[in-house]
A and B are shown apart, each in its own frame.
Chain A
Amino acid sequence: MGGAEAARSRERARTGWLLSAPALVLLLVAASGPLLIVLVYSFLAPGQYGNVVWQFSLDGWFQVFLQRDIFDGTVGPADAHLTIFWRSVKLSILTTLITFALGLPTAWFIATRPPDRRAMWLFLITIPFWTNLLIRTFAIMEVIRNEGLLNNLLIGLGIIGQPVQIVFTETAVLIGMAYVYLPLMVLPLFAAIDRFDFRMIEAGYDLYASRWQVLRRVILPIIRPGIVAGSILVFVPSLGAYVTPRVLGGGKQMMIGNFIELQFGQGRNWPLGAALSMLLLAIVMVALLVYVRATTREERDG
């Protein structure tokens, strides 16, 4: 009996792996495998015209945080790089906070609609979600650029005389990222609120809780997995953002993604670019690990 069961299980595993093999090979060749090459390249020396020289070197990693003074050879922090890291982290955290502040009421609103209209509201969030990120970035640019909708409106109303410079500032990148990543926050929040048992709130009010207390003590703790999921889904792509800072930052408000590209273009420092890529990947992996641990603990406890 046990033998037959084990044989069937082995057979199942064999079919499973065989059927998955083409997808796995494709992913290994054109997605996961090349990541290892990046890791190797981060430990090589830069070539004069880009690419690398096959010679072990820690310069790529060294240059991520530090720089050597050209004249006296002293080692100090690479201020320009640290500015870019700080901007990336700061803007990603702010994007996450803004999308949460706007996303929670939106998700709540959708989840509390009558069932027949809920799908329609959800669809309205899904359309921007699937719309080309570049197009959405262009769209927000049409609103905030100097001759754009917002400035024209404010000038037309006589509130300002000169257009306010928003594009090519950090604020523009922040507005753009909050705009393009908002659906990523709303969808998991909605999923969490949709499963929410609204009798919990009634119980809270019956026990004389105020609206704020109900939100703080009942709703937020219960939808916590959705909050964690939404925050990760927004924070991770924000940190690796490339298109939005390039278009709305105009090359001045670089984030890590743009800085990595620079090393493979004009910078001609592939090892530094490779080291930066690996660093970004490591941060994202840590964030995902935190997410997995947070959600599994949730399942175990509750």
Chain B
Amino acid sequence: MSARAKPFSVTALPGFTTVALAVFFLLYLPIATLVVYSFNDSLSIAVWGGFSLRWYEAAWQNAAVQEAAVRSLVVASCAALIATTVATMAALGTTRRGRFRGQTLIYVAINQPLMVPEIVTAVALLIFFAAIKVATGYQGLGYLILAHSAFCIPFAYLPIRARLEGMDLTLETAAADLYATPWQTFRRVTLPLMAPGIAAGAMLAFVISLDDVIITEFVKSAGQDTLPTYMLGQLRRAITPEVNAISTVLLAVTVLLLTAFFLLTRKRG
């Protein structure tokens, strides 16, 4: 008789757990490496020279990084605000109260940025905005904000729509029964109930805008680097420790926002 095997498990498949754990390890190893290297005191990227915050200090005092960071925040905030506002309206118009003609068309149009390869949209916007830049002479941040607002719409729309679909219609009916005007019902009942969805949508839009490289690279005018395009521009043969430090900070921001997003969407009702 051979040694007694583990109890037979229906859901176990040979090797699956090993592969899965290896995948989790491999998924986080590069990120951990990047974070560790950002604290490396050595100028040479190959040698560990002890713990140091010098690259964070260097990045913090670099005027180009400061400008890019402020620009990233301005664009992401404006884009998140605009995208969330129009997405909230669209979600209110396309959920609950039954289907209507053209609803699928609206749905496809809103999700269009998720389907078209980003490089294609980037090229299209380059051509379109180049013509407008020549015609109007305006070179400001407006183009970036407009482009970011557009591709952030589906990311803001989806969580808001999900929240609305899970909501109870009877509360609004009750408000109407108590002689609330449609506006009062919206302001006092619907809006507070859908607030977590709106907050979640705004956060996703903000993260997506903050992360964008390709469209920004094609749309920006000279001297309009955001943090990601600045980092891409810094890349030569290898990554500088300063870029590692900026990456780590961006990583921390993303993780914090995501954690908030999960806490917001998990508390239902």
Contact = CB atoms under 8 A, between A and B. Distances in A.
Interface string B103-142: 1001001101101111111011111101000000000000
Interface in A256-302: 256-257, 260-261, 264, 270, 273-274, 277-278, 280-281, 284-285, 288
Contacts of B150: 26-27, 29-31
Nearest to A186: B23
B37 interface: yes
Interface stretch (B27-35, B53-61, B188-196): B27-35
Interface string A1-45: 000000001001101111110111011011111110110010000
What is the interface residue range for chain A against chain B? 35 or more
Interface stretch (A65-73, A105-113, A222-230): A105-113
Contact of B207 (A130, A147, A215): A130
Given A30-B149, A106-B24, A127 B255 contact: yes
A24 B109 contact: yes
Contact of B106 (A16, A147, A215): A16
Interface in A147-192: 147-149, 152, 179, 182-183
B3 interface: no
B100 A132 contact: no
B149 A106 contact: no
B100 to A, nearest CB: 4
B213 to A, nearest CB: 5
B interface, size bucket: 35 or more
A112 to B, nearest CB: 4
A56 interface: no
Nearest to B107: A20
A141 B44 CA distance: 16
Contacts of A260: 119-120, 123
Contacts of B31: 128, 131, 136, 139
B241 to A, nearest CB: 11
A280 B59 CA distance: 38
A35 B125 CA distance: 8
Contacts, number: 261
A274 B125 CA distance: 12
B119 A261 contact: yes
Contact of B214 (A20, A123, A127, A242): A242
A23 B86 contact: yes
A284 B232 contact: no
A83 interface: no
Contacts of A149: 29, 33
A237 B119 CA distance: 10
Contacts of B34: 135, 138-139, 142
A12 B16 contact: no
B25 to A, nearest CB: 11
Contact of B250 (A15, A20, A132): A132
Given A27-B153, A37-B124, A277 B119 contact: yes
Contacts of B254: 127, 130-132
Given A16-B94, A27-B109, A130-B207, A108 B116 contact: no
Interface string B34-48: 100100000011100
B94 A34 contact: no
A41 B123 CA distance: 11
B92 interface: yes
A18 B93 contact: yes
Contacts of A142: 30, 33-34, 37, 239, 244
30 contacts: A19-B90, A20-B93, A22-B86, A22-B89, A23-B90, A30-B125, A30-B147, A31-B112, A35-B121, A37-B124, A41-B127, A104-B16, A105-B15, A105-B23, A106-B19, A125-B27, A126-B262, A128-B28, A133-B213, A138-B235, A138-B247, A140-B30, A142-B37, A147-B44, A201-B10, A201-B11, A237-B117, A242-B214, A285-B115, A288-B115
Report the 5 A-B pairs with minimum CB-CB distance, sorted nearest first.
A19-B93, A240-B117, A109-B20, A34-B124, A139-B30
